[in-house]
Chain A
Amino acid sequence: MQSLSWLLGAFFLPLFPMSLLFSRVWQGLGSTRMRVLLILLWPLPGVFVLDAMDPLIPSWLAIWALATSMLYGLRAVAIKEASVWVGYMAISAWSLGWLIFAVSDNPVSPIAYVLSFSASFALLTMIIGEIEHGYGAAYAGIVTGLAQDQKALSALFVIFILSAIATPFFPTFFVLLGNIAQVSGVRLFAAVIAALVWLVWSWSAMRLIQGLLVGTSGKRVPPLLTKRKIAVYGVLASLLVVSALIDLGGLR
């Protein structure tokens, strides 16, 4: 029974090579709606099961999680296709969630951890969907200079991507910080590696922003978002920020 739970966890709070399943499914999906659903729902089985068990994971498992996270974090750096990027980043972020179980009586809630990341990724996916709809693909370097024509879209893109890489004031920041802080008390080395992964995320996000938003573009496309859509996204973005106020990471 226990091993089955582990396995479930490894698939849905993905560890390599079980993460390949998620990767395959994610890249196979074409519709934005499906992707949003997938990214919100996929880690939940794993998290719930593990949360119920509330184990204290051994070192090798922690290392395995860190390795997975670093692997996908680095892999994401070279990715230019934004939707693929989101997939890799999600795996990288979720696998760090295993570290919550490296500390006994961890105030950080694994469900909150996973949900904050998933929410950010989901919103980002929606924006990427808008870009794909207007430009064919959100491929950095080929589709450039979005900030020139798509001002609102670019602004939202930046907000959501910053949330995805756990920049301060977004909920993801607090949960990740809480996670690392707790782990550092028990396994310092693991915390350091996790922080390094965090650094790699910001690097790859900047590359994506630079490739997609900055500069000029030859093809001029009229603004894609209607005022209503901008309003809706705006509300969602505010909700995202506000949710950080909820006591998530046990940092109070």
Chain B
Amino acid sequence: MNAIKFNHLKKLEIILEGEYKEFAIDLLDRVGVKGYSIINNLSGKGSHGFRDGHIMFNEDDLLIMIIAAVPEKLVEPILQGFSPFFKEHSGVVFVSDIQVTRLVKFGGDD
């Protein structure tokens, strides 16, 4: 069996209010992110207190998290794009180093 080849990428975890989902996705799309996953109905605690996560009549109150694996060169533009947003709205972005095996799925060449 051949050794599995690992490629280095960066993982972004963006947590923000559900009503800004379209905005965040649009930004990622335009910067060139190929794919992402969205986790809904998050609960959590932040500087604004605890938020519960179950679905209400009004779908905007939820917190969501968007996870995307991107090549390093996209991290800067993404963070720059989000920076004015997080000055005014609650949420965070975590950046971490990861490795993936199938680079082609993330915009690179295998």
In the complex they form, whether A and B have CB atoms below 8 Å apart is answered with no
